[in-house]
């Protein structure tokens, strides 16, 4: 009966690629048992009485695939129609079809299309897809910012990218992409593309997020100075900084981004991970907690949590300084679990399912001060670390772990959560 005039009692008029109108025959009953929106449209007190409905907000190919799914539980998705089908799945309240669209996008996501997919994933509140987009942006930042889509993204998304601490990219390459984005905006608005105009388009918050001091001096001189986005005073101060004439801060971050795995360390505290039914349970009113202390000042960049294959977890995590009795950091969000494998150079070598939680900013952990890491986790039972050690030395930093009386979900020094601490030495 799909796309068949036989017994059809309604027709949909939509535009095609050529902007001409095409007609798709359908059956009210079939549409109504698949979508509560169509049910209300055809059988409520305010039901449509005509036998022809014009839909100006969708294209022929997308609506045809929506109906194909309603009639046959099958859908033929492509890069051309998937966004349109996702829109219709949301509009007509068909979550199973929306999930298929999100899965298709996840399977075909890469650096070349991530900036066209991310805004749509945010618009339609597909959080798993949003998280995967940010993961691609972080890991493949160099390729992603050189894609055609990056030069056209909205300023709010553009700013969110530039300020990320977890990008895997050389700072000079990020600056080139920033400069190109600003140039494109100036051209679109019919403005000159001189440095002062581009700086106005960018705004101070974005310019201050670029880490000029971590560039190589010849890169700064050859690329940044010629763009004239910096003021003369800012340029002079950075040149002095490069030549060790100036030791005081120059107004821009002097910390490398932590996107490359080589730029930070992993303190791994377990000897193995359990993957069987004896995994880690979760309860909404319980917390996983652990006390730790270090013998050198570090910047804590994040932690790793155990998970299960193809599962997603909602997490609230906090770091507390027990000496001052204050929380240094709090973060909440949703995270997809994936396979994590330790490097062969690590003393502890085992693969497991879990997820990294990178903090939005480094958390300074002072030596000799006891801290508590806390996590409230919601999701499927996960794998579980075991054979934990009380002390672990990594890059000359000794981590001492202790049980916490606040832990109510089974995490201890010996077993449970927090298999890895992600850090750099100050």
The answer to whether residue 289 is domain-embedded is yes
Q: Are residues 137 and 216 in the same domain?
A: yes
Cα 395 versus chain centre, distance: 29
Q: Are residues 319 and 415 in the same domain?
A: yes
Q: Classify 175 as helix, strand or coil.
A: helix
Q: Are residues 271 and 222 in the same domain?
A: no
Domain boundary among 207, 242, 277: 242
The answer to whether residue 254 is domain-embedded is no
CA distance 303 to 270: 14
pTM, two decimal places: 0.60
Total domains present in the chain: 3
Question: Digits of tens for pLDDT over the chain (426 positions)?
Answer: 999 999 999 999 998 777 788 999 999 999 999 999 999 999 988 777 778 999 999 999 999 999 999 999 999 999 999 999 999 999 999 999 999 999 999 999 999 999 999 999 999 999 889 999 998 999 899 999 999 999 999 999 999 999 998 899 999 999 999 999 999 999 999 999 999 999 999 999 999 999 998 888 899 999 999 999 999 999 999 998 888 776 665 789 887 787 644 567 889 999 888 865 556 777 667 899 999 999 999 999 999 998 887 688 889 999 999 999 999 989 888 776 655 544 333 444 456 778 888 888 889 999 999 999 999 998 888 888 999 999 998 888 999 999 999 999 989 999 999 999 999 987
CA distance 373 to 294: 13
The answer to whether residue 145 is domain-embedded is yes
Please name which of 305, 301, 295 lies closest in space to residue 393, comparing C-alpha atoms. Answer: 295
**182, 201 contact by CB (below 8 A):** yes
The answer to whether residue 258 is domain-embedded is no
Domain boundary among 107, 136, 151: 107
Q: What are the two backbone dihedrals, phi and then psi, of residue 293, each rounded to the nearest 5 degrees?
A: -150, 145
Residues 6 or more apart from 60 whose CB is under 8 A from it? 14, 15, 16, 17, 22, 24
Q: Are residues 100 and 127 in the same domain?
A: no
Q: Which run of H or E residues covers position 90?
A: helix 82-91
The boundaries of the domain holding residue 86 are: 10-107
Domain boundary among 50, 73, 107: 107
Q: Are residues 207 and 134 in the same domain?
A: yes
Token couple for 156 = 């709010």
Q: Are residues 186 and 133 in the same domain?
A: yes
Q: In 46-173, where do the E strands start and end? A: 52-59
The DSSP line for 364-412 is: EE-TT--EEEEEEEESS-B-EEES--SEEEETTEEEEEE--TT--SS--
| Cα first-last separation, the chain | 68
């Amino acid at each position: 009966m799909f796309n068949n005039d036989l017994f059809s009692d309604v027709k949909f008029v939509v535009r095609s690629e050529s902007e001409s109108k095409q007609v798709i025959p359908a059956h009210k009953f079939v549409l109504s048992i698949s979508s509560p929106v169509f049910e209300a449209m055809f059988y409520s007190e305010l039901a449509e009485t005509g036998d022809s409905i014009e839909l100006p907000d969708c294209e022929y190919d997308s609506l045809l695939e929506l109906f194909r799914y309603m009639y046959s539980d099958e859908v033929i998705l492509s890069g051309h129609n998937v966004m349109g089908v996702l829109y219709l799945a949301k509009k007509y309240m068909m979550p199973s079809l929306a999930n298929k669209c999100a899965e298709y996008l996840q399977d075909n996501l890469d650096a070349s299309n991530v900036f066209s997919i991310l805004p749509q994933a945010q618009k339609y509140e597909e959080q798993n897809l949003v998280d995967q987009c940010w993961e691609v942006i972080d890991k493949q930042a160099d390729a992603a910012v050189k894609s055609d889509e990056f030069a056209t993204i909205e300023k709010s998304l553009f700013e969110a990218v530039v300020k990320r601490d977890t990008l895997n990219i050389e700072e000079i390459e990020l600056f080139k992409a920033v400069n190109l984005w600003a140039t494109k905006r100036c051209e679109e608005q019919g403005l000159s593309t001189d440095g002062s105009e581009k700086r106005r388009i960018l705004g101070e918050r974005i310019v201050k997020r670029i880490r000029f001091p971590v560039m190589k001096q010849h890169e700064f001189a050859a690329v940044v100075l010629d763009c004239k986005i910096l003021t003369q005073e800012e340029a002079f101060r950075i040149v002095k900084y490069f030549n060790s004439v100036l030791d005081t801060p120059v107004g821009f971050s002097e910390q490398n981004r932590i996107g490359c795995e080589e730029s930070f360390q992993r303190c791994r505290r377990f000897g193995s991970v359990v993957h069987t039914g004896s995994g880690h349970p979760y309860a909404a009113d319980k917390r996983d907690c652990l006390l730790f202390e270090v013998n050198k000042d570090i910047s804590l960049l994040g932690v790793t949590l155990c998970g299960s294959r193809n599962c997603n977890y909602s997490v609230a995590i906090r770091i507390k300084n027990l000496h001052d009795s204050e929380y240094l950091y709090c973060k909440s969000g949703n995270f997809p679990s994936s396979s994590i494998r330790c490097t062969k150079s690590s003393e502890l070598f085992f693969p497991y399912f879990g997820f990294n939680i990178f903090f939005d900013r480094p958390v300074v952990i002072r030596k000799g001060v006891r801290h508590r890491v806390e996590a409230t986790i919601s999701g499927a039972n996960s794998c579980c670390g075991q054979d934990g050690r009380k002390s672990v030395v990594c890059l000359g930093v000794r981590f001492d772990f202790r049980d916490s009386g606040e832990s109510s979900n089974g995490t201890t020094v010996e077993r449970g959560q927090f298999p890895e601490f992600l850090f750099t030495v100050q």
